[in-house]
């Protein structure tokens, strides 16, 4: 078992209910729901679903509101890792509705943490920021610097996607300041990949590449390949190819193009395991394919990215893929661009500063 997996298990251990587990069904519910979460983190979806179903049955029969809320939260997180975002949101919202009345706790912070990641995927900046602020508030209240860091870089992510670049950088500096001197092998690369996204949205592709290289090195060194971290790979491909990826006169050198093609393969592989990023991975695969001269492959990747994004409700990814596809000589390119820009307007998001 790798160090990232051990860190994940330690985190899960902290989400045990604080109520007395005298009731046998409550104990069964807690055990099954934690199994569902573990299987979800490790992308063993069939076992996560099976354990999750058992957990919810036991939780309902136990008649313990807090234990049932925590079971729902665990299973909701498992659904998130499996890309079942609607079911995940429903269970997590039901969980925090109970825990919000029980005071600050690590499990409440963790469930808001996953809600915030979910809202990032679907492009709901308002709820993403709302969830991140709860993370920060609880982290400060229970003296958990990592939780405060989660919230800070979560707000930075949402602000960057919305075009509020200066504020995004301020929150990133706060997150990195909290992280300084700490060695959590999941939080560090996650914060760095978020910083890379902030740089990309600000139009600084070179700065993005530097921090994303560091993020990927950390992931590889600690074998920290889990859902929170692996967005670093598609983001790195974007930084390597630059904002004018479709213009032969401004493309990077051949060595960088070949590297971007290789990295796009890795991005797609890890997205196969962490499916929430598949639309993003397919889109950058399309950019890399275009750069190496695979024109038909590029169009196919962008089209698939749109379909996958639609299945997830990932509106920012759909918009980006539509606009990328409109850069190619394809039928209906004007319609693709129009749809992409309308989606961006709908969710209050912007393209990276150098791409618009």
Distance CA(23)–CA(337), nearest Å, equals: 57
Question: Where residue 30 falls among pLDDT bands split at 50, 70, 90?
Answer: confident
Q: Which of these, 98, 45, 101, 44, lies nearest to 71 by C-alpha position? A: 98
Buried b (16+ CB within 10 A) or exposed e, 55-85: bbebbeebebebbbbbbbbbbbbbbbbbbbb
For 295, half-sphere exposure in the C-beta direction (CA atoms, 13 angstrom radius) is 6
How do residues 275-309 score in pLDDT, each as one tens digit? 999 999 999 999 999 999 999 999 999 999 999 99
Domain residue ranges of the chain, discontinuous segments joined by +: 242-356
Least confident of 24-33, 227-236, 303-312: 24-33
Average pLDDT, the chain: 92
What pLDDT sits at residue 6? Answer: 55
Q: Which of these, 179, 96, 167, lies nearest to 138 by C-alpha position? A: 96
- Per DSSP, the residues of 189-235 read HHHHHHHHHHHHHHT-HHHHHHHHHHHHHHHHHHT--STTTTTHHHH
3-state secondary structure of 14: coil
Whether 356 shows a pLDDT value over 90: the answer reads no
Q: Which of these, 102, 106, 131, lies nearest to 118 by C-alpha position? A: 131
Q: What is the mean pLDDT of residues 259-286?
A: 96
Whether 13 shows a pLDDT value over 70: the answer reads no
Q: What is the mean pLDDT of residues 163-175?
A: 98
Distance CA(287)–CA(264), nearest Å, equals: 9
Distance CA(271)–CA(267), nearest Å, equals: 6
Taking CA atoms, 254 is separated from 250, 260, 292, in Å, by 12, 10, 8
Taking CA atoms, 237 is separated from 18, 222, 230, 243, 356, in Å, by 44, 21, 12, 11, 18
Q: What is the mean pLDDT of residues 46-70?
A: 92
Whether 152 shows a pLDDT value over 80: the answer reads yes
Question: Where residue 20 falls among pLDDT bands split at 50, 70, 90?
Answer: very low
Query: How many residues appear in the chain?
Result: 356
């Amino acid at each position: 078992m790798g160090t990232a997996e051990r860190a994940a298990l330690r985190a899960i251990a902290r989400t045990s209910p604080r109520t007395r587990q005298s009731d046998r069904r409550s104990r069964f519910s807690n055990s099954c729901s934690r199994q569902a979460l573990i299987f979800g983190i490790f992308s063993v979806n069939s076992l996560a679903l099976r354990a999750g179903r058992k957990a919810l049955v036991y939780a309902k029969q136990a008649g313990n509101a807090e234990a049932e809320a925590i079971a729902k939260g665990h299973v909701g997180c498992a659904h998130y890792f499996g890309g079942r975002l609607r079911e995940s949101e429903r269970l997590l919202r039901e969980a925090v509705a109970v825990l919000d009345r029980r005071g600050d706790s690590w499990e409440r912070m963790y469930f808001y943490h996953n809600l915030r990641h979910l809202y990032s995927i679907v492009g709901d900046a308002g709820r993403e920021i709302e969830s991140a602020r709860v993370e920060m508030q609880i982290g400060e209240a229970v003296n958990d610097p990592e939780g405060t860091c989660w919230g800070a870089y979560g707000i930075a992510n949402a602000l960057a996607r919305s075009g509020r670049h200066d504020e995004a950088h301020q929150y990133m500096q706060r997150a990195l300041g909290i992280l300084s001197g700490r060695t959590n092998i999941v939080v560090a690369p996650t914060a760095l990949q978020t910083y890379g996204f902030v740089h990309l949205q600000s139009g600084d592709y070179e700065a993005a590449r530097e921090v994303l290289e560091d993020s990927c090195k950390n992931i590889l060194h600690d074998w920290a390949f889990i859902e929170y971290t692996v967005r670093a790979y598609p983001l790195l491909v974007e930084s390597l190819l630059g904002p004018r990826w479709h213009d032969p006169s401004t493309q990077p050198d051949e060595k960088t193009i070949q590297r971007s093609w290789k990295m796009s393969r890795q991005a797609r592989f890890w997205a196969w395991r962490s499916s929430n990023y598949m639309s993003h991975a397919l889109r950058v695969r399309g950019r890399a394919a275009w750069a190496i001269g695979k024109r038909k492959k590029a169009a196919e990747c962008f089209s698939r990215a749109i379909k996958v994004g639609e299945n997830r409700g990932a509106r920012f990814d759909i918009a980006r893929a539509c606009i990328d596809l409109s850069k190619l000589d394809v039928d209906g390119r004007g319609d693709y661009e129009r749809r992409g820009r309308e989606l961006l307007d709908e969710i209050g998001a912007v393209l990276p500063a150098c791409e618009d």
